[in-house]
């Protein structure tokens, strides 16, 4: 009997051994898949964008190409400082605006007369691309080039000859400065009415120049083909984000798919065009002294990290050098704090040494075992059998762990597959699994955040997929919980209120521009600020041991007593609240009576913060002292880049003017619509 048992055991072990080692075929790639270069590019995750040029000195977001090239005169350009900053920030490369929409070339191009050569910088002998590409090499960073096809300076723009000229400039930047990892083509175009004329671009020719000179370079545009714009400049990739999309028949710019599609990609899309999130550390893309106190907080940057890198997208974070030609300390300090916050969140992977069980392992083979998910190797993976579209992975920690983040990665060399999953934890008291969070896509990397729970077991349930799931990695973390910064609001009557989402913090604030501390005034209810000023606030708990970041808001005069003369029902345009908006018939002008005369330095327009909203993009602006005789003080001007980056627009008049009434007439909208949207109109008097 004993012998029989031993015999059976030996046979069972032998079969087990045979099954686990047998040569089970790996899954076939599913759908569109990445090229080898796209796979390497995806691993870069985080790199720097640099917007630098005449706009840095003229304080506009879109130069019109008529600026004197002599305005470009940085006193102390230091590309090594940019590279050192990017490196210290944990970034992997730098992409620079070699030529923005004003046509100004940061290198002495032979195909333009609007370049560094015509500027005062280094007596016209400088070359930013040369200095930056060398600095990148020195610091071990990748170097990339942004080139705007839309060119408001070049005399040939709008003629067929321009295509060859653009290809020539592209050839210069791709042959003169060593290896380029990404070629960035901007789809933005001021369109009709703007000095730029209509140009039919020869994209095939442009792409060929890239393929010929830099075959490894990833081509960015709204529609790739290397990687795609993810549809907004807020830093928020789709919660569902496929790296696949249909690009055939589409073009960058007006002929691109809707921003929703760019944001989410398409399951089963025919091309592999992963998302890249481009966003600026400041409100605008170019440096302005007026935004020195508006550098995004670590809390905002961490949110962006989760909505970009954490949602299957690379992050291209813009850090614009200042007028000296260096990165401003406010930005570089923030970048270091951001790096520290990432490291503190993802410093210790709690899964190390923990065993994982899968409900299905491909062919029962150890080659595809769940243990591959935690081996720290990116080229091993767990896979299910063909036809199996749902499976569970159970992590048993065998002790209590507290966690609030989970990171998952698909083995994307074989395509993107998972379309729905959830995370559960074992609730000891309930003696049952409890769903912690649900999500859709994973892709190269997905990070989910949720309030911390303490448990001994975690389960990842893949509930749907386009083909059998193939995952390479799971990591689990306990990120420090930050105290959310307070939010500041001011109403129509000029009353400022400060609020916090967290329970019971104490708020301190200042009105004199200084940083709030525990000895600043304590907030205990709203206070009036009718004439404007700078409010800075901080939330504090635990007797000051835990502090939020400082939040800053600057106000001009409040719209106290203002009324909308026409049209009726547009009061939300002057209610002091930028979260509400007026929708006004396209043919109607917005007329405001301010009830008393003010000396206007300018005015501000806050659009609705969505790329698809029908905001004002061009306008006439009128003033009046009596509400009867009107003077047009701005004629068909443009709110630069308001479609893609719909943030508050400040318009400064040529000289201050006295007015008791103002009138705005839209002449072009950012999107099709019968009504235009106004979140808020304000005055600039300070």
Closest CA to 383 of 343, 353, 413, 420: 413
Contact 136, 171 (CB under 8 A): no
- Considering the complex, what minimum distance in angstroms separates the CB of residue 79 from ligand FUL? 19
- Considering the complex, what minimum distance in angstroms separates the CB of residue 458 from ligand FUL? 39
Q: b vs e for 512-539, b when ≥16 Cβ sit within 10 Å of the residue's Cβ?
A: eeeebeeebeebeeebebeebbebbbbb
Tell me whether residue 95 or residue 662 sits nearer to ligand FUL (CB atom): 95
- Considering the complex, what minimum distance in angstroms separates the CB of residue 642 from ligand FUL? 10
- Considering the complex, what minimum distance in angstroms separates the CB of residue 615 from ligand FUL? 15
- Considering the complex, what minimum distance in angstroms separates the CB of residue 646 from ligand FUL? 12
Closest CA to 61 of 330, 307, 327, 318: 318
SS3 583: strand
Tell me whether residue 283 or residue 656 sits nearer to ligand FUL (CB atom): 283
Closest CA to 617 of 640, 584, 635: 640
61 binds ligand FUL (CB under 6 A): yes
Closest CA to 455 of 432, 489, 471, 480: 432
Question: Which residue of 116, 188, 350, 681 would you call a contact of ligand FUL, by CB under 6 A?
Answer: 188
Tell me whether residue 313 or residue 473 sits nearer to ligand FUL (CB atom): 313
Q: Which of residues 3-32 bind ligand FUL (CB under 6 A)?
A: none
Tell me whether residue 131 or residue 276 sits nearer to ligand FUL (CB atom): 276
SS3 591: strand
Query: Phi and psi (nearest 5°) for 162?
Result: -60, -35
- Considering the complex, what minimum distance in angstroms separates the CB of residue 312 from ligand FUL? 20
- Considering the complex, what minimum distance in angstroms separates the CB of residue 276 from ligand FUL? 11
- Considering the complex, what minimum distance in angstroms separates the CB of residue 101 from ligand FUL? 6
644 binds ligand FUL (CB under 6 A): yes
In terms of DSSP H, where are the helices of 397-537? none
641 binds ligand FUL (CB under 6 A): yes
Sorted by sequence, the CB contacts under 8 Å of residue 470 that are 6+ apart come out as: 27, 381, 382, 383, 384, 410, 411, 414, 417
Tell me whether residue 195 or residue 561 sits nearer to ligand FUL (CB atom): 195
> CA distances (Å), 373 to each of 20, 346, 367, in order?
17, 17, 12
Contact 237, 308 (CB under 8 A): yes
User: In sequence order, what DSSP letters do the residues of 365-409 get, joined into one string?
Assistant: -GGG-GGGGGSS-TT--EEPPTT---EEEEEEEEEEEEEEEEEEE
Q: How many residues interact with ligand FUL (rule CB under 6 A)?
A: 8
Burial classification of residue 599, based on how many CB atoms lie within 10 Å of its CB (0-12 exposed, 13-18 middle, 19 or more buried): exposed
Contact 246, 269 (CB under 8 A): yes
Helix (H) / strand (E) containing 58: helix 55-58
Question: Rounded to an integer, what distance in angstroms lies between the CA atom of residue 116 and that of residue 29?
Answer: 48
- Considering the complex, what minimum distance in angstroms separates the CB of residue 187 from ligand FUL? 7
Tell me whether residue 101 or residue 547 sits nearer to ligand FUL (CB atom): 101
- Considering the complex, what minimum distance in angstroms separates the CB of residue 61 from ligand FUL? 6
Tell me whether residue 67 or residue 186 sits nearer to ligand FUL (CB atom): 186
- Considering the complex, what minimum distance in angstroms separates the CB of residue 62 from ligand FUL? 6
Q: Which of residues 302-361 bind ligand FUL (CB under 6 A)?
A: none
Contact 362, 384 (CB under 8 A): yes
Tell me whether residue 285 or residue 581 sits nearer to ligand FUL (CB atom): 285
Sorted by sequence, the CB contacts under 8 Å of residue 677 that are 6+ apart come out as: 581, 582, 583, 584, 607, 608, 613, 614, 615, 616
Q: Which of residues 256-285 bind ligand FUL (CB under 6 A)?
A: 278, 285
Tell me whether residue 262 or residue 662 sits nearer to ligand FUL (CB atom): 262
Tell me whether residue 577 or residue 650 sits nearer to ligand FUL (CB atom): 650
Residue count of the chain, please give it: 686
181 binds ligand FUL (CB under 6 A): no
Question: Rounded to an integer, what distance in angstroms lies between the CA atom of residue 421 and that of residue 241?
Answer: 14
- Considering the complex, what minimum distance in angstroms separates the CB of residue 285 from ligand FUL? 4
The closest residue (CB) to ligand FUL is: 188
User: In sequence order, what DSSP letters do the residues of 273-330 get, joined into one string?
Assistant: --EEEEEESSSSSS--GGGTT-PPPHHHHHHHHHHTTTBTEEEEEE----TTSS--HH
Tell me whether residue 94 or residue 341 sits nearer to ligand FUL (CB atom): 94
Tell me whether residue 279 or residue 683 sits nearer to ligand FUL (CB atom): 279
Q: Which residues bind ligand FUL (CB under 6 A)?
A: 61-62, 186, 188, 278, 285, 641, 644
């Amino acid at each position: 009997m004993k012998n029989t048992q031993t015999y059976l055991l030996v046979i069972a072990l032998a079969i087990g051994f045979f099954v686990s080692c047998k040569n089970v075929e790996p899954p076939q790639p599913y759908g569109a898949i990445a090229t080898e270069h796209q796979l390497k590019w995806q691993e870069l995750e985080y790199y720097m964008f640099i917007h630098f040029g005449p706009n840095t000195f003229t304080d506009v977001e879109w130069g019109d190409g008529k600026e004197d090239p002599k305005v470009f005169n940085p006193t102390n350009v230091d590309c090594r400082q940019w590279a050192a900053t990017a490196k210290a920030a944990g970034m992997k490369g730098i992409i620079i605006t070699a030529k923005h929409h004003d046509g100004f070339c940061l290198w002495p191009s032979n195909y333009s007369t609007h370049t560094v050569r015509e500027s005062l910088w280094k007596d016209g002998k400088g070359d930013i691309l040369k200095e930056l590409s060398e600095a990148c090499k020195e610091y071990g960073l990748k170097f990339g080039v942004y080139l705007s096809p839309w060119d408001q300076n070049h005399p040939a723009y709008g003629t067929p000859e321009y295509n060859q000229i653009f290809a020539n400039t592209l050839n210069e930047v791709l042959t003169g400065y060593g290896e380029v990892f990404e070629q960035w083509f901007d789809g933005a175009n001021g369109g009709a009415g703007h000095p730029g004329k209509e140009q039919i671009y020869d994209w095939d020719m442009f792409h060929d120049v890239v393929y010929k000179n830099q075959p490894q370079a990833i081509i960015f545009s709204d529609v790739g083909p290397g990687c795609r714009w993810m549809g907004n400049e807020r830093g928020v990739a789709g919660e569902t984000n496929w790296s696949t999309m249909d690009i055939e028949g589409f073009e960058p710019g007006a002929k691109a798919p809707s921003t929703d599609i760019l944001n989410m990609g398409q399951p089963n899309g025919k091309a592999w065009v992963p998302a890249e999130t481009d966003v600026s550390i400041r409100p605008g893309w170019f440096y302005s002294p007026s935004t020195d106190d508006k550098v995004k907080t670590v809390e905002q940057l961490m949110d962006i990290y989760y909505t970009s890198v954490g949602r299957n997208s690379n992050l291209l974070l813009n850090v614009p050098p200042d007028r000296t030609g260096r990165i401003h300390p406010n930005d570089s300090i923030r970048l270091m704090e951001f790096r520290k916050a990432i490291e503190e969140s993802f410093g210790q992977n709690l899964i190390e040494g923990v065993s994982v069980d899968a409900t299905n392992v491909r062919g029962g083979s150890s080659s595809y075992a769940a243990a591959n998910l935690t081996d720290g190797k990116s080229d091993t993976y767990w896979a299910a059998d063909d036809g199996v579209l749902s499976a569970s992975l159970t992590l048993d920690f065998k002790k209590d762990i507290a966690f609030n983040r989970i990171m998952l990665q698909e083995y994307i060399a074989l395509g993107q597959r998972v379309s729905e999953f959830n995370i559960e934890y074992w609730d000891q008291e309930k003696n049952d699994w409890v769903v912690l969070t649900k999500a859709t896509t994973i892709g190269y990397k997905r990070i989910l955040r949720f309030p911390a729970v303490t448990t001994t077991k975690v389960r990842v349930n893949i509930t749907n997929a386009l083909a059998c799931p193939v995952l390479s990695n799971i990591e689990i973390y306990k990120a420090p919980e930050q105290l959310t910064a307070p939010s500041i609001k001011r109403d129509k009557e000029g009353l400022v209120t400060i609020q916090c989402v967290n329970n019971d913090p104490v708020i301190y604030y200042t009105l004199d521009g200084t940083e709030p501390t525990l000895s600043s005034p304590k907030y205990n209810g709203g206070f009036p600020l009718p004439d404007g000023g700078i409010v800075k606030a901080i939330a504090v708990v635990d007797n000051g041991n835990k502090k939020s970041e400082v939040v800053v808001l600057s106000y001009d005069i409040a719209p106290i007593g203002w009324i909308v003369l026409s049209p009726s029902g547009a009061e939300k345009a002057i209610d002091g609240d930028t979260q509400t908006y007026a929708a006004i018939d396209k043919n109607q002008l917005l007329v405001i009576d301010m009830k008393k005369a003010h000396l206007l330095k300018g005015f501000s327009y806050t659009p609705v913060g969505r790329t698809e909203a029908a905001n004002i993009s061009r306008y006439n602006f009128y003033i009046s002292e009596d509400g009867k005789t009107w003077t047009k003080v701005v004629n068909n001007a443009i709110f630069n880049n308001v479609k893609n980056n719909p943030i508050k627009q400040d318009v400064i008049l040529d000289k201050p003017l006295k007015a008791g009434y103002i009138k705005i007439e839209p002449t072009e909208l950012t999107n099709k619509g019968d009504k235009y949207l106004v979140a808020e109109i304000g005055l600039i008097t300070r």
